[in-house]
Structure 1
Amino acid sequence: MSALKDRLRAELTAAMKARDSLRSSTIRMVLTSITNAEVAGTEARELSDDDVIGVLATEAKKRREAAEAFDAGQRPELAQKERDEAAVIAEFLPAALSDEEIAALVSDAIASTGAAGEGMKAMGKVMGVVTPQTKGRADGAKVAAEVRRQLGAS
């Protein structure tokens, strides 16, 4: 069993004992998403820690997007609830990469794939190298924008 999933279950128990409704409902929702991912497809399987991080990253992204939508719809109280849930989820994700770290990873990937002179044609090749390194630690759109920027500059 995944150590991260065990940690989530332990945190859920602690949150329930502390009567922290936001934390317990958020962790419960994340555990449900993990279970759904485990039974999705043709055969049930146990998720690894990397897979659980992927589920957590997806849930965090959903919360950020929902908060933006609620802000746009003039619903600040709902937007704040989504941000609070995202903060709880972020506690279980690895530390986020800074813009400089993303730029360095992209530069290394361009150098290692030899994509420097190919321009935008090499985007898929570079993203294939960078994506596993940034999974759960950086937004994919942010990484793709940096790859585009560096490939366009080369």
Structure 2
Amino acid sequence: MQTLGTDIPIVRPGDRQYALEALARLRQSLDDVEREVLGIGHNNPPEPLSSEGLRREAFNEVRQHIEALESEMEKPSPDQASVAANSEGLVQFGVKMAAWAGQRTTKFVDAALAVLAPAIVLKVTGLLPVLLEALEAVARVLTH
């Protein structure tokens, strides 16, 4: 990626490096959300916040989709079928996250979870724009 003589990069719509950076940001956001939702680390919630739709396997699966997309972005000619399939996996995960957040919003009214609600909802809803940015960046590489 080129810069303007400073550390500010010139971002082109089809820039593979930009797509790789967007995928890296997605991985970071995913890790943050996983810690909050599944209770990894020292800030375990008072009760499990995961549901049937949101388990550790879902997070691991989306990481595999991210890795596959990163691999394709590093190729001179990405396999469009692979990119489409892995992008679809990200979209499905995003839909699961949105549904999960919607279901949990009503449960957060419960007094025991009232303190946790804002942080977790913000993390989950903050992941969705990062996911969309990564998908858009990958798609632009294929169209340019």
Is TM (by shorter chain) over 0.5? no
* TM-score in terms of structure 2 length: 0.37
* TM-score in terms of structure 1 length: 0.35
Greater percentage in helix: 1
Higher relative contact order (CA 8 A, sep 6+): 2
